[in-house]
Amino acid sequence: MSLKLKALFFLAGFISATVATASIIQYIARNVPAETIQTAFSVGIMGGLLYMVYSLILTRLEYDKKIDEISANINKITSK
């Protein structure tokens, strides 16, 4: 499959996703009370923030572990 054809498929998918998202947003705006939308948005924001904090903590712990491994390897090399 050529790159031009792949690009065309990606563009078609992007346009389809955009249209679907716009339709869903219009449906929600018409049929769901504003208070429910605000609550859902707030819960989504809080969930996103909690996930970011989790990711930061996980990354820090992974780096700490990697630094400990590197330090242990350096100590093995220098003690020989």
Domain count, the chain: 2
Tokens standing for residue 79: 């003690």
CA distances from 24 to 28, 70, 79 (A): 6, 50, 64
pTM for the model stands at 0.60
Residues in the chain: 80
Q: Are residues 66 and 76 in the same domain?
A: yes
Same domain, 62 and 78: yes
- Per-residue pLDDT of 21-58, as tens digits, reads 999 999 998 999 999 999 999 999 999 999 999 999 99
Task: Answer yes or no: do 18 and 44 share one domain.
Answer: no
Same domain, yes or no: 48 and 80: yes
Q: Are residues 41 and 67 in the same domain?
A: yes
DSSP state of 80: -
CA angle 34/37/43 to nearest 5° reads 140
Q: How many angstroms separate the CA atoms of 49 and 55, rounded?
A: 10
Residue 49 and residue 37 share a domain: yes
What domain range is 6 assigned to? Answer: 1-31
